[in-house]
Structure 1
Amino acid sequence: MNRINISCVLILLIFSSCKEKVKKAIVEESSPKMDQVTFRTDEENQKVDVLIDGDLFTSYIYDGKTPKPVLYPVITKSGTKITRGFPIEPLEGERVDHPHHVGIWFNYGDVNGLDFWNNSYAIKEEDKHKYGTINHREVTETNAATGTLVATANWDTSDNTTLLEETTEFSFSQEGDTRKIIRTTTLKALEDVSFKDNKEGMIAIRVTRGLELPSDQPSIFMDANGIPTEVKALNNEGVNGNYLTSEGKTGEEAWGTRAKWTTLYGKIADEPVSVTIMDHPGNVGYPTYWHARGYGLFAANPLGQEVFSDGKEKLNFSLAKGDSVTFKYAILVHNGEQLSEDSLNGYFSDFSKDQ
């Protein structure tokens, strides 16, 4: 082979190599980055979808069908829904109690005498004056680079008097098989506001049937025709949830106890999953009491202490007009091998340092 041919071959090889490198760079640039959070605004349905690596994690819903904004559904990295579908998407075999339990939410049972917790579409019109509504105002920011969504809302009376202005920042992320939500909510009082000691509160999730604790108590469930039906003998097949608190309380014994964090774990279709809520040392009432029920309500309530302590403690928290208070929580949504206590304590240690 002469020198000219050799030179041509070398040029072709170099060109081919560069072409492949350019092609690879273009593919990498256009592909979603690992654990990347993106937001998809859907103004028609009044929600913002939160996606990680292009897959739905949850949606911030503010359509007014529930009298507060909610995160729904909540989905693991593997695609398993851990939230109950009712009342948004009723599924056969689900409980149909407590229509105000929707996805993940934040509110309270007694604010200036109004019940924000139990308000729902099921409340009779003549009783509406007894309840408060959290009305979404606007999404002020979505930042894919930091995985944050910021929204504002008003805590209103039935005659639209605003008691509290709410500003909430949600921070979404993913690490391995663990998806994380950090919710930071600041409430500013527009008049003197009292949070009377009440067991109904404060940050909560209503989970799917598989994460409930097994029970033999009769209840009402959705049948195959979408009709609520009383079931006296429960079928606990696939129902295997269990609570564990940072203080070592398990099962039903978690309810009414204080802890830094509580995890609810089990299997859905043979896949290990868990959801963990973590209190923050800067919160009022830390470490919080847990309103963690076997039927699927999993809540942290720092302000309602009397019922949980059998009357030994009481907290009637209040804000003077113009004052504000901030509550911060971490929620871990995990699939795969169960997170160990050491791992959860590690997450909590990192979270507690976050101001």
Structure 2
Amino acid sequence: MVTSYKIGENLLKPYLFPILSPSGVVVTRGFPIEERKGESKDHPHHTGLYFTYGSNEEVNGNSFWNLHDIPPQIKHMEVLEMKEGKNKGYLTTLSHWIGKDHKALLSETRKMEFSFIKDRYIFDFDIVLKALNLPVTFEDTKEGMFAVRVADWLAEKSNQSEIQNTGEYLNAEGDRTEKNIWGKRSSWVRLEGENDGKRIGIAIYHHPESTNYPTFWHARGYGCFAANPIGQFDFQKGRHIEQPEKRTLTLQPGEEAKFKFRVTIYEGDRTFENFNKEFINFSRK
């Protein structure tokens, strides 16, 4: 098993969990889904790898990012396609972003391609959000959007964990650590650490065809590793940019926004040039 796609009537959103490295090391935090000794227990809404937005009613007055009663909910509706290929798997799903009035605001069509190449797994995501019956506005917030909560050993610094943190962030500009990467825009960021003597990492790439490329990064030292192409004000303010500007995204009924990401789970030493080369290959896809 590489990962599982988790859905259910009582889940706030679909998510992938757990996620394993090629040798079987779990790279996602267990809490709140699985109990693991010594693990951190903050932010219970950080579940595996997920796609969501807004913690203070930023989506037409609805919050989808944080922990809350249902609705709101990103509800899985159906599997549109599932097939296998040589060292590949494909899954396409339909979900609805349902507001607290029980009405669907958005449809989400998510194409996922899972590949195994030598010492790494590659997950490609092509996500299309479509406004349904009303205009939908995404207000500015740092709380989003394409995210993974990593295992504590892979985090840079978690004050709530008994597990040793070994991770370090690196972005496409050569910046390192949360301090120098959080709130900046970049085409890719990787988080790499050590587990039982093995170098293991996760890299997230943002495709140039995506909405508001290159994305801002909500990359936290405690283990929340997120690409947020919509938020802006919180990031500029947090980085002490003079006169930070708010950004919103509004979709009229029938209008779509596309979000394309690649996630690579790899083992072994990889150079800066390796990540740049993979980004170039992904950007041509």
TM-score by length of 1: 0.74
Deviation at 1:340?
A: 1.0
Deviation at 1:63?
A: 2.0
In structure 1, the partner of 2:192 is: 265
| Percent of aligned pairs with the same amino acid | 40
Quote the RMSD (CA, aligned, Å). 1.4
Asked if residue 118 in structure 1 is aligned to residue 66 in structure 2, the reply is: yes
Q: Structure 2 counterpart of 1:342, which letter?
A: E
Q: How many residues align?
A: 273
Contact 1:255 / 1:292 at 8 angstroms: preserved in 2? yes
Question: What are the residue-to-residue correspondences of 1:199-278 with 2, within 5 Å?
Answer: 199-214=142-157, 217=159, 219=160, 235=162, 238-252=164-178, 253-278=180-205
- Distance change (3 Å), C-alpha of 1:96 and 1:64: farther
In structure 2, the partner of 1:45 is: none
Asked if residue 137 in structure 1 is aligned to residue 77 in structure 2, the reply is: yes
Contact 2:114 / 2:122 at 8 angstroms: preserved in 1? yes
Contact 2:72 / 2:102 at 8 angstroms: preserved in 1? no
- Matches of 2:269 and 2:224 in 1, distance apart? 21
In structure 1, the partner of 2:96 is: 154
Question: What are the residue-to-residue correspondences of 1:1-355 with 2, within 5 Å?
Answer: 56-109=1-54, 110-119=58-67, 123=68, 132-145=72-85, 147-190=89-132, 191-214=134-157, 217=159, 219=160, 235=162, 238-252=164-178, 253-310=180-237, 311-335=243-267, 337-354=268-285
- Matches of 2:61 and 2:2 in 1, distance apart? 35
- Matches of 1:301 and 1:280 in 2, distance apart? 13
Please list every run of 5 or more consecutive structure 1 residues that lacks an aligned counterpart in the other structure. Answer: 1-55, 222-234
- Matches of 1:138 and 1:284 in 2, distance apart? 25
Contact 1:66 / 1:100 at 8 angstroms: preserved in 2? no
Deviations 1:232-275 (A, max 9, x none): xxx56x31110000011111221111111000000112211000
Contact 1:210 / 1:268 at 8 angstroms: preserved in 2? yes
- Matches of 1:65 and 1:207 in 2, distance apart? 23
Deviation at 1:65?
A: 4.2
Q: Structure 2 counterpart of 1:70, which letter?
A: Y
Deviations 1:199-249 (A, max 9, x none): 10100000001011135x4x3x5xxxxxxxxxxxxx56x311100000111
Q: Give the structure, 1 or 2, with the largest relative contact order (CA under 8 Å, sep 6 or more).
A: 2
Give 1 or 2 for the bigger CA radius of gyration.
1
TM-score by length of 2: 0.92
